[in-house]
Every structure is written in structure tokens, then in C-alpha cells.
Amino acid sequence: MVKIKNPLLISWILLGIVFVGSVLLGRYPSPGFVSPGANNNDPLLMSLITNLRLPRIISAVLLGITLSLAGLVMQTVFHNPLVDPGFLGVSQGAAFGAALAIIFGGTLGLLVQGSAILFGLLGLGLSFWISKKIRFGGKILKLILAGLAVSALFSAGVGILKYIADPLSELPEIVFWLLGGLWSIQWKDIYLLLPVVFGGIVFIYFYRWRLNILSLGEDVAFSLGVNQGRETTLAIIIAVIITACMVSISGIVSWIGLVVPNVARILTGADTAKSVPVTIALGGIFALLCDDLARTLLAGEIPLSIFTALFGAVIFIFIISYKKRGLE
């Protein structure tokens, strides 16, 4: 464990600082930060901040929180710190749904988002259904195997769709969606998703201590009066629904859900009562910083996953080498 006094307080203060900094950061009037006082004199800047930057910043924070929390929940219930929130066929299912809508749906408003959510949940449902058909192994192993198979099926489907997509109009859109990004966010997207996503986050927050029990053995949980099977299923469904909702507007954003909970655990220890609040703050910070780079580094938009994967992988390498040192 890295010795940082009160990681909870520090991570939340940091989130506040990054949030304010992000509001002031942009490419208008010139690339960089604007001073807080300048807003009043420039109506265009004001409208830019309230109509474009704020919804985008809020959605980046929500995306980071959602993916990291869902990752923490999945890692806990699958007894495996290397699990990612989308691995039960959810990410690939959502990707397939989005690609399908891009090719066959035309330009109908929320069709891509809706289709992504639908197929993400279908991926989860399929994984559960197939896991019940497997005749060997424990509950966890069955779900992991089924999730692998379903992900492979959908990713083959995505491959087919990319192959038949119009290389000039549809293919770039699919590729951009697969790399994720928040460039198209508007307030109405946030209003639409907030009740579900916020509800899921609040649920996990208040459930945070009991979540520990899902990482123990089934019989031990039983002796503690916990129906582990039922609560595990509930936790997975909540984690997946909020993930699918956020992914439907952001596209596939990789690594956040894997890396952030591991960093939080290094700071707070394994107890989920302590790691959940820090995971929330760190997830928000990580996604927001990556999105700041994605929107300001170049004149054009850079896909979000390029940064989340780059920094995520660097942090991941640090974690695994750090853990090795810890064992010596």
C-alpha cells in the first residue's frame, strides 16, 4: 500500500481542481486556459462553456465514475482484479449494436445509442444464458467462459459489419465509435441517462461495504446470511446497465474500468467500503484529463480511447511492477 494520508480527501479535492481547470481549458479564444474573469466580457465564450464544455465535462466525469465503479464491482464479484466492466459480452455487444445502427439505421436520432444499449444488454443476457448450459466448473468460471465466447461472436459480427460498411461514410463512423469519444455530447444526452446512471452509482455507493462479501467463498457468505448468488447477479446487472448507458453515448472507452480500481486499491487497501469512494474520484479525474487532451491537443477531435489506453497501459505497467516490488 502506498502511504498517502487520507487518499479520500486528496482524491476528491483533486477531482474538484481538475473539474474547474477543465472548464477553463479549451481552444477558444486561443488554445489553453482562459482566466476565470474573462467569461463575462465574451458572450460567445460563455455560451461555449455552458452549452458545449460543461455537458462534455460532466459526461466525462460520469463516464469515468461509471466505468471505474463497474470495473471495481466486476473485479470483486469475479474474484479477479484483472476483469473489465465490458467483458461479459457487453462491450462487444454494444459495439455490434452501434455498428448495426450506423449501417442500417440511417440518421435516426438516438438509434445508435439505443441499439448499443440493447445489444450490450443482449450480450450480458446471452452470457448468463450460455453459462447455465455449461456442464462443468463453478459459477464464476462458467460466466467468464460464456462471456469470452459471446464477446468473440459479437466481435466477429463487428468485423463483418466493418467489411460491408461504406468505406467513405459508414466505416469512419464505426471506427470512431469503436475508439470512443464525447464530442457529440449535449445536455439532453445527460438528462436522458442521468437517472439510470446516477441511480446505479448511488446504489453501489451505499452497497459498498457489503460488496466485500461477494469476493468471499459462497459457503462463507451463506453462513453470514447472504444469498451470494442473488446479490452477485444484482451487482453485475447494475454495473452492466450503467456501463451500457454510458458506452452508448461515448463509444468503447478502454482501460479505465481495469486500471482505476487497481490504483484505488493500492491507495486504500482491499476493503471496498474504502476503495469505492476513491475509485469514484479517481475515475472522474482520469477520464476528464484524457478527454481534456482529446478535445484540446489538436484542432481536430482525437478519439478518447487513444489516451485512456495509452495512460491506462502505462499506469498498469507501473502497478504490476510495483506489486512485484511489494512481494519481495
What minimum distance in Å lies between the beta carbon of 272 and another protein?
8
The residue (of 72 and 112) whose beta carbon lies closer to another protein is 72
What minimum distance in Å lies between the beta carbon of 180 and another protein?
29
What minimum distance in Å lies between the beta carbon of 286 and another protein?
21
* Residue found under cell 461514410: 169
The residue (of 83 and 117) whose beta carbon lies closer to another protein is 83
What minimum distance in Å lies between the beta carbon of 226 and another protein?
6
HSE-CB of 31 using CA atoms within 13 angstroms: 9
What minimum distance in Å lies between the beta carbon of 309 and another protein?
25
Q: How far apart are CA 162 and CA 143, in angstroms?
A: 28
The residue (of 113 and 272) whose beta carbon lies closer to another protein is 272
The residue (of 52 and 273) whose beta carbon lies closer to another protein is 273
What are the residues binding another protein (CB under 8 A)?
76, 79-81, 206-210, 212-213, 215-220, 222-226, 265, 269-271, 273
What minimum distance in Å lies between the beta carbon of 79 and another protein?
4
The residue (of 167 and 225) whose beta carbon lies closer to another protein is 225
What minimum distance in Å lies between the beta carbon of 64 and another protein?
22
Backbone angles phi and psi of 32, in degrees to 5: 130, -165
The residue (of 101 and 264) whose beta carbon lies closer to another protein is 264
The residue (of 52 and 140) whose beta carbon lies closer to another protein is 140
